[in-house]
């Protein structure tokens, strides 16, 4: 086997293993959530995450693929990433602003008229998640598979830690009044950690 094929196989194994392990560990949180949240509360979380999966794809609008394509054609052009990042960040900011301005209307549409804050929080989660997908794409483009795996696994570790802190530890529940909000706080803190971690390892 030639060296390029060995490199490809090694990177594929790292990308695949880190993603599989991460998804499996996150899956283990489901029994925790179902044991703590009521059916109604867990239903809200499930529904909102279904929207998140769709909206993140919509907000990135294929820019990850565009970044791979143009960066491979123009490897010396450092403006490609910054241009795409500005584009996605601008779209995400616009999305957050629109959702914030019309939060009550969207909450009424989704039949959560008393919880317009859900719309604002999830808009921030979706927007930041869309932006953070581009630095991860840059790591892949630069063949930094190990750093990519580190970010993913650290992301999962912090996710589990925050779930344990906010949901399992009874003494910490005094920090938050409503259990339905705790999962949103976890995600906001998690996204902040992901962005900070990338900046640290990319230097």
Q: Where are the domains of the chain?
A: 21-201
Q: In the prediction, which pLDDT does 79 show?
A: 84
Q: What's the pLDDT at 128?
A: 83
Q: Are 135 and 174 in contact (CB under 8 A)?
A: no
Low-confidence ranges of the chain (pLDDT < 50): 1, 171-172, 175-178, 195-203
> What is the reported pLDDT for 97?
94
8-state DSSP, 188: H
Rounded to whole angstroms, what are the CA distances from 199 to 57, 102, 147, 156, 165? 23, 33, 11, 17, 25
Q: CA-to-CA distance for 119 and 48, rounded, in angstroms?
A: 9
Whole-angstrom distance, CA of residue 86 vs CA of residue 83: 5
CA distance 197 to 54: 25
Q: Which two tokens stand for residue 195?
A: 């962005």
Q: Which tens digit of pLDDT belongs to each residue from 66-89? A: 888 888 777 666 788 888 889 998
| pLDDT in the model for residue 182 | 55
pTM across the whole model: 0.75
């Amino acid at each position: 086997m030639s060296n390029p094929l060995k490199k490809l196989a090694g990177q594929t194994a790292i990308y695949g293993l880190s993603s599989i392990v991460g998804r499996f560990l996150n899956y283990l949180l489901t029994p925790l959530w179902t044991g703590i949240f009521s059916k109604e509360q867990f239903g809200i979380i499930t529904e909102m995450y279904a929207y998140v999966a769709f909206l993140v794809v919509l907000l990135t609008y294929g820019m990850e693929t565009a970044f791979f394509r143009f960066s491979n054609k123009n490897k010396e052009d450092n403006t490609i990433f910054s241009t795409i990042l500005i584009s996605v960040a601008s779209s995400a900011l616009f999305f957050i602003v629109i959702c914030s301005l019309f939060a009550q209307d969207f909450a009424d549409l989704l039949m959560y008229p008393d919880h317009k804050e859900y719309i604002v929080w999830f808009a921030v989660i979706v927007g930041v998640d869309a932006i953070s997908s581009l630095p991860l794409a840059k790591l892949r483009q630069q063949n930094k598979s190990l750093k990519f795996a580190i970010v993913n696994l650290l992301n999962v570790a912090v996710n589990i830690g925050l779930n344990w802190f906010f949901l399992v530890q009874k003494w910490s529940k005094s920090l938050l009044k409503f259990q339905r909000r705790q999962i949103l706080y976890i995600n906001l803190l998690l996204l902040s950690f992901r962005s900070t971690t990338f900046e640290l390892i990319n230097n």
